[in-house]
Structure 1
């Protein structure tokens, strides 16, 4: 079973792509480049959903980032691979990256409980370790009832990528926030305490051009607070149910 790897990169960011290529080649990981969408050059068709869901307009970078991840998910589905690894071009490859990807390729059929795996930010809240019968990787992997936010490195199953595209024909949240909410509903996410990728020191140019801190009583802050409460409540229920079934 193969993993297809895609790197999302703006046309102008040749130096970032060069560093990413150097690190992935050193780790023995081949990839296909996906030309990232420049959010400043697309019409914001998500204005009303964003006001309803986020309580604010999405930034140009957030729109471009979401559209870029949709392109990457479609490119994966257009391939013959069973797992699609989507990387942003500000990643740092960790020493156990290749061994983790090899384990994902070996073991994914024994983990039919996931749609998406966050491979760049450690799980911090509400997670349950997969047993050794389901995972042979170098570092433990967990069901992430509360998904970490970031899309620097995510892995899709074909079912997960298909559902992602169906659910996001219109969108009103940043892509990582959408994924966190989605996984809180479905309980079909994975994450690690020691992920195989991390973000480099330089900020991503794909998606974060000013996700500003909102005033405490603004509409956006109120929407965020409500969303976090719902996510935590759903994650708590999912964690309890998962542990109950494991007994």
Structure 2
């Protein structure tokens, strides 16, 4: 079993890199820095696989260039992983705080999954904020590996199987949603998401470099996104659709 790790980090975000590096070194976890795609300042028309009309129809606003940069960073990690001979990929964003049990828990979870191939999964969320529509699989020293039928929205820490990464590269080439929302909808619909609870990765108390620092710009996230009047309705419609799919998978698993 071969596991590799990519840490997404923008060029020039040296303090973040140093902090994340120290955390991973403290728990004895090797990684490779992945140079994040910097979408800030780019026109939406510069993103080849972005469909603005489809996005507005789906979520009631355009994606921000920084969101597209975040999406392409995660997509690039999956592509690079598939060019290696590794079995599993851990993807971390640099604005993170990891648990002291990070290494031992991930190793034991992946050892279990590697020996139980009947668990057909694509992606594990190790940074979940909430646990909903879930079914526990195993417990590892106080941490639970679970079927995340309603896939958690936070993409701060993820683990890919090769099968999942291949599907993402194929299904996710066209960018319509922010990447974390894409993961939630996609995996809630197909039932192939897993999670670890409590979360092994938490957000650090800093703004995202990839998404841009909204607070210092003096405008709210809502204003920056330029939401249409249909935004709220479309958000609720998507979320309830995802929950309905999750509930069906949960009931089917019993």
TM-score above 0.5:
yes
Q: For residues 235 and 140 of structure 2, what CA distance do their matches in structure 1 show?
A: 37
Q: For residues 13 and 226 of structure 2, what CA distance do their matches in structure 1 show?
A: 33
Match of residue 245 from structure 2: 234
Change (3 A) 1:122 1:35: same
Indicate conservation of the 8 Å contact 1:3/1:81, yes or no: yes
Indicate conservation of the 8 Å contact 2:92/2:156, yes or no: yes
Indicate conservation of the 8 Å contact 1:60/1:209, yes or no: no
Please say if 1:63 is aligned against 2:73.
Answer: no
Q: For residues 212 and 130 of structure 2, what CA distance do their matches in structure 1 show?
A: 21
Indicate conservation of the 8 Å contact 1:119/1:154, yes or no: yes
Please say if 1:203 is aligned against 2:207.
Answer: yes
Shift of 1:39: 1.1
Indicate conservation of the 8 Å contact 1:107/1:136, yes or no: no
Q: For residues 216 and 10 of structure 1, what CA distance do their matches in structure 2 show?
A: 27
Q: How large is the Cα RMSD of the aligned pairs?
A: 2.0
Shift of 1:236: 0.8
Q: For residues 160 and 212 of structure 2, what CA distance do their matches in structure 1 show?
A: 22
Indicate conservation of the 8 Å contact 2:40/2:212, yes or no: no
SS of the residue corresponding to residue 121 of structure 1 reads: coil
Match of residue 19 from structure 2: 19
Q: For residues 227 and 75 of structure 2, what CA distance do their matches in structure 1 show?
A: 32
Match of residue 51 from structure 2: 46
SS of the residue corresponding to residue 152 of structure 2 reads: coil
The superposition leaves residues 19-73 of structure 1 with CA deviations (integer Å, 9 ceiling, x where unpaired) of: 0000001111111111111112542433122112222100121110000001111
Indicate conservation of the 8 Å contact 2:123/2:161, yes or no: yes
Indicate conservation of the 8 Å contact 1:117/1:191, yes or no: yes
Shift of 1:221: 1.5
Please say if 1:35 is aligned against 2:41.
Answer: no
SS of the residue corresponding to residue 58 of structure 1 reads: coil
Please say if 1:212 is aligned against 2:222.
Answer: yes
Shift of 1:137: 6.0
Corresponding residue pairs, total: 240
1:144-183 equivalences under 5 Å are 144-183=148-187
For structure 2, the residue ranges without an aligned partner over 5 or more in a row are 215-220
Please say if 1:2 is aligned against 2:2.
Answer: yes
Q: For residues 32 and 212 of structure 2, what CA distance do their matches in structure 1 show?
A: 23
For structure 1, the residue ranges without an aligned partner over 5 or more in a row are none
- Single out whichever of 90-99 and 118-127 deviates more from structure 2: 118-127
Give 2:100's match in structure 1, choosing from 81, 95, 99. 95
Change (3 A) 1:208 1:173: farther
Match of residue 136 from structure 2: 129
Q: For residues 53 and 237 of structure 2, what CA distance do their matches in structure 1 show?
A: 18
Match of residue 235 from structure 2: 224
